[in-house]
Amino acid sequence: MSTDYCFNLALRKSSRLITQFYEDRLSETGLKVGQFSILRAVNYTKETTNKELQSILVLDQTTLTRNLKPLIRDEYLKLAPHPEDGRLKIISLSESGKALYERAEPIWRKTQEDLQKKIGTNETDSILALADTFVKTLGDK
Amino acid sequence: MSTDYCFNLALRKSSRLITQFYEDRLSETGLKVGQFSILRAVNYTKETTNKELQSILVLDQTTLTRNLKPLIRDEYLKLAPHPEDGRLKIISLSESGKALYERAEPIWRKTQEDLQKKIGTNETDSILALADTFVKTLGDK
DNA sequence: GACACATACATGCATATACATCTATCATAA
DNA sequence: TTATGATAGATGTATATGCATGTATGTGTC
């Protein structure tokens, strides 16, 4: 029967495996995959906030705050106060952050291609479709 | 986001969302989803080892060792030495572990059904197919 | 302007994840 | 039978994850 298999475990297993695949490739940059995702999102938005990154990355506010810490500590990300709203912190890439992202981006891109070759485009399409469904049906909080 | 979507981020987002879905339902049992997966695997195998659980759950040995800790501490799992191989520890459910699993199992089952209704059988099938592909192509270590 | 409420971000706690490395035990060959 | 290498599991360190809660700031009402 269909519920012999746990959908949650299945997704978590997949997530662990794909993470190790990317982690292995990105290791030469010193970045973890979660950190790369943050740099990529900040590179895209240029100037952003904790709040905005939360919705892009589908991360809890407290998780994101902590995940930013190593990147701020190592000065890949800069923080600046918002000119009008004292609660906000404007997050952007530092020069070394930009440089690091630009070094990592082609490695990430090649990893994407290699994964696609390895598991097939049907499967990679399936990953994107699933994420879309999940964010739409479970991602409103 | 400069053309592409990151497959890794997509899967990790989905994993976080589905985990929260199950976590919310299972919270009344006091179990985290990872702990439920362990109890379920041990209930299935009856007597098992760290090593065997690693391959069922697709978890690193060190991660599994640590994930077992709270369940052993709370005495839901029992450890016994292997009669022939002193390196092995036999893991099994205690009485309270069995009781807890049997209390959690129907909640998990209903969660599976609810998720299937919510996102559709195509998507849940897709999750299982994806996990199968990932374990087959990336899961040999 | 003072108070109530909402919003943005941080902290305490607990679990999750895995690499590098360590210890203990087993298996095997000289 | 001892040296050697393999295997099972544990520990040090670091990041990841999120709930409950705390602090600071902004907004609206009177």
Is residue B141 predicted with pLDDT exceeding 60?
no
Cα–Cα nearest to B12, from A15, A138, A55, A31: A15
Residue A81, helix vs strand vs coil? strand
Tell which B residues from 41 to 70 touch A, by Cβ distance under 8 Å.
Answer: 57-59
Asked if A24 has any chain B CB less than 8 Å from its own CB, the reply is no
């209704």: which residue's tokens? B117
For the record, the structure tokens of A36 come out as: 């790369």
Second CATH level (architecture) for the domain B7-133 = Orthogonal Bundle (1.10)
- What local confidence, expressed as pLDDT, does residue A141 receive? 53
- What local confidence, expressed as pLDDT, does residue A2 receive? 37
- What local confidence, expressed as pLDDT, does residue A53 receive? 94
- What local confidence, expressed as pLDDT, does residue B71 receive? 96
- What local confidence, expressed as pLDDT, does residue A1 receive? 32
**A92 alpha-carbon distance from chain centroid:** 15
Beta bridge partners of A80: A90
Its CATH class, for the domain covering A19-130, is mainly alpha
Question: How far is Cα A109 from Cα B78, in angstroms, rounded to an integer?
Answer: 46
Smallest Cα distance from A27 to chain B, Å = 15
Is residue A9 predicted with pLDDT exceeding 50?
yes
Is residue B2 predicted with pLDDT exceeding 60?
no
Q: What is the mean pLDDT of residues A1-21?
A: 86
Residue B137, helix vs strand vs coil? helix
The gap between B51 CA and D1 C1' (Å) is: 31
Q: End-to-end alpha-carbon separation of chain A, Å?
A: 32
The more confident residue out of A71 and B138 is: A71
pLDDT digits (tens, 9 = 90+) for A56-105: 999 999 999 999 999 999 999 999 998 888 899 999 999 999 999 999 99
pLDDT digits (tens, 9 = 90+) for B114-125: 999 999 999 999
Distance of CA A9 to CAs A6, B16, B40, Å?
Answer: 5, 12, 11
